[in-house]
Structures are given as structure tokens and as C-alpha cells.
């Protein structure tokens, strides 16, 4: 782990136990199965689109594992399926957005502590800072965990969010998954200096760069960042260095801007294989455990697929309840007619 400013404070240095390490592997296995299956579902016409996260399982599961769902709040982009799964969100409800059944997900954000899926690049970063500042004003101890990528880090919204958070000492962890690519543009061509964490110094924020393929290292870095924020010290930037092993989305063809040889050379050790080797070396898991974890992941994926296929279209009149804060007289008349017609069907 590379800390560009002095290390963040932490009072919790208890290492992960064997049970927690096995849980992390099971979570990453579940995410891997669901992620690769979602790509297949798109090809089969079950969902219209999906943003894969192959290779980013450790970054997402490790960071979400450090979050306290009793008081903290996560703000995702459209690629944080692993975060949702690690937080215990109903995955059929989560995938409803990719099914185009519901915008932002059908799950309850307040109950799950996961904000609605955000499709606007870097849009959720400002939301995270606003929520975090609210925690300061109300005297609460919650910390916002804001996810975005290396490409999104070049958006002006991120500058505004980091500057405001630093000035107001908002308790927010800016978690960047640097997967090497802003769609088809490599990091070195759109991030000056190649490091997003290095920018933290300009805002007087601690910046940490961590191996994003090491789930334990990610967890520890995020846990320390949370401790720093909870002590009233303001925000932290955590940059998880990982690699997007698949396309940017199911509409993308990565073969147009990189080769398979590049992927094999640059991607590094697979996050799941890396943890597997550690568990075997430390004697906290055996082949029977791995077989059971993958079987459970496969069964879970099948159950989620069944749930997704059963999702029907939402009632059209819901737009009058959820889309408009204040409806116009014309819309009110239309809503009334819609309800009357529905009652006679």
C-alpha cells in the first residue's frame, strides 16, 4: 500500500479471521458467477445491457466489507454489482435496472444503505459528499463511500466534490477503481501523472494507493479510511489499482483498442486465484470448501436468473407517483384517466 500523505489513523487493527477470509472468497465467487452470467444474459436477450466488472471483484468486495450498514452509506456507479452483493442487497431488485424494468434499482436504498445505481459519470460523487456533510451537521458518525473510476476522476464534479469535502471535512471515502481504462482510453492518456490518489495532496486529503486485486489489502485500506473519517479528520482518497479484464459494457469491443496478449500481461493475478492461494497456504480452507463455495455461487446465480426473467413491466401509472414532484393539471387529468381505465380492465 502506498500512502502519499501520512498514514490515516486507525484504532481497529484486528486482522481478519479465518471465517472472514472464507466469507470474502465466497462473496467474490458469487460475484464472479453472477457477473459472467449477466454478460451471457445480455447475449441471450434476457437483459438489454450490462457493465461487466471481471477482475474487479476484490476491489468491490473488499471495500464494501469494511462498510458498516448500520450507519454508513455507499454511492455506486453502474458497475458496482459486487458492492451490492457484498452489502446483502436483493440482487433481483438490483438487476432490475439492467433488465430496464426500473431506473436505479428496485431495492430500498434507505434499508440497504446503497444509493440508487447512478448512470451519470461521476454523478454520485457529489451525492456522497452532500450526504456526508449532512452527517456532520446532524452530529452522526456515518461515512459515505463514493465509488468512481479513473475515467470519471477527470470530471469536474470530482474536483468540486473533493474540494468541498476537504474544506468542510466531510466524512467521505473517495474510492477509485483504477481499472486501467476509461472505456477505450488507457489511464496514462487521461490521468496526468497516472495516479488519481496523487491528486489528493492538492486538496490536503490523505491519498492511499492499494493493490486492488488483493481483497485483504483493499479491506484494510478502506477500514483505515473509515476510521480516519469517523474521527472527524475529513475525507480520504483510496485508489485501488486493478484491471478491467472484459469490455467496458456489453456494447463495447475491447479488441479494437487492446489485444488479448495485452490483457494477459497487464491484468496480473486473478483476484479469486490470489485469495485461493492464500487460504490454502494458511490452511484455513481446503478443496472441499472451494467446491462448495462455487456450487453455492452457481445455485445463487440460477435463482437470480429465474427472478430476473419473472420481472414484468412496471405499471405505467407509476410515473405519476415517482417521476414528477409536482404534476401539472394536464398530467393530473391524464393520471386520472389512466387509473379509471385500469380499474375497468
* Number of C-beta neighbours around residue 270 at 10 A: 17
Q: Which of 22, 98, 223, 244 is catalytic?
A: 244
Task: Write the CB contacts of 273 (distance below 8 Å, at least 6 apart in sequence).
Answer: none
Whether 257 is catalytic is yes
Q: Which of 223, 248, 276, 305 is catalytic?
A: 248
| DSSP run (H or E) holding 129 | helix 123-138
Among 90, 78, 91, 80, residue whose Cα is nearest residue 57: 80
- For residues 242 and 59, the answer to whether their CB atoms sit within 8 Å is yes
Whether 159 is catalytic is no
DSSP helix/strand/coil, 172: strand
Helices (H), 139-251: 156-168, 215-230
Whether 248 is catalytic is yes
Among 38, 20, 62, 21, residue whose Cα is nearest residue 247: 38
Strands 236-241 and 2-3: unpaired
Taking CA atoms, 223 is separated from 13, 68, 262, 342, in Å, by 9, 10, 33, 51
Task: Write the CB contacts of 328 (distance below 8 Å, at least 6 apart in sequence).
Answer: none
- Torsion 77-78-79-85 (CA) sign: positive
Strands 181-182 and 185-186: antiparallel
Q: So which residues are the catalytic ones? A: 244, 248, 257
Amino acid at each position: 500500500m502506498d500512502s502519499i500523505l501520512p498514514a490515516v489513523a486507525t484504532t481497529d487493527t484486528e486482522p481478519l479471521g479465518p471465517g472472514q477470509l472464507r466469507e470474502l472468497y465466497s462473496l467474490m465467487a458469487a460475484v464472479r458467477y453472477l457477473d459472467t452470467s449477466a454478460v451471457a444474459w445480455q447475449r441471450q436477450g434476457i437483459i438489454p445491457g450490462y457493465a461487466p466488472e471481471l477482475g474487479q471483484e476484490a476491489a468491490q468486495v473488499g471495500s464494501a466489507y469494511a462498510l458498516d450498514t448500520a450507519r454508513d452509506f455507499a454511492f455506486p456507479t453502474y458497475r458496482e454489482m459486487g458492492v451490492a452483493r457484498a452489502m446483502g442487497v436483493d440482487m433481483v431488485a438490483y438487476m432490475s435496472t439492467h433488465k430496464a424494468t426500473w431506473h436505479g434499482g428496485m431495492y430500498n436504498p434507505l434499508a440497504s444503505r446503497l444509493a440508487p445505481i447512478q448512470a451519470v459519470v461521476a454523478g454520485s460523487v457529489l451525492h456522497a459528499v452532500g450526504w456526508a456533510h449532512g452527517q456532520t451537521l446532524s452530529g452522526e458518525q456515518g461515512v459515505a463511500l463514493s465509488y468512481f473510476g479513473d475515467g470519471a476522476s477527470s470530471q469536474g464534479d470530482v474536483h468540486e466534490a473533493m474540494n468541498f469535502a476537504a474544506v468542510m471535512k466531510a466524512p467521505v471515502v473517495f474510492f477509485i477503481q483504477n481499472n486501467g481504462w476509461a472505456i477505450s482510453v488507457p489511464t496514462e492518456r487521461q490521468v496526468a501523472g497516472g495516479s488519481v490518489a496523487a491528486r489528493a495532496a492538492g486538496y490536503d486529503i490523505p491519498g492511499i494507493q492499494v493493490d486492488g486485486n488483493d481483497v485483504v489489502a483493499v479491506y484494510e485500506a478502506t477500514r483505515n479510511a473509515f476510521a480516519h473519517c469517523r474521527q472527524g479528520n475529513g475525507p480520504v482518497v483510496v485508489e485501488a489499482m486493478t484491471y478491467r479484464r472484459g469490455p467496458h459494457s456489453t456494447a463495447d469491443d475491447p479488441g479494437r483498442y487492446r489485444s488479448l496478449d495485452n490483457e494477459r500481461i497487464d491484468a496480473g493475478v486473478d483476484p479469486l486465484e490470489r485469495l485461493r492461494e492464500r487460504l490454502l497456504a494458511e490452511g484455513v480452507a481446503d478443496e472441499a470448501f472451494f467446491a462448495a463455495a462455487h456450487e453455492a455461487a452457481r445455485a445463487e446465480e440460477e435463482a437470480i436468473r429465474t427472478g430476473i426473467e419473472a420481472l414484468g413491466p412496471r405499471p405505467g401509472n407509476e410515473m405519476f407517483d415517482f417521476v414528477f414532484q409536482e404534476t401539472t393539471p394536464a398530467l393530473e387529468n391524464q393520471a386520472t384517466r389512466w387509473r379509471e381505465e385500469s380499474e375497468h380492465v
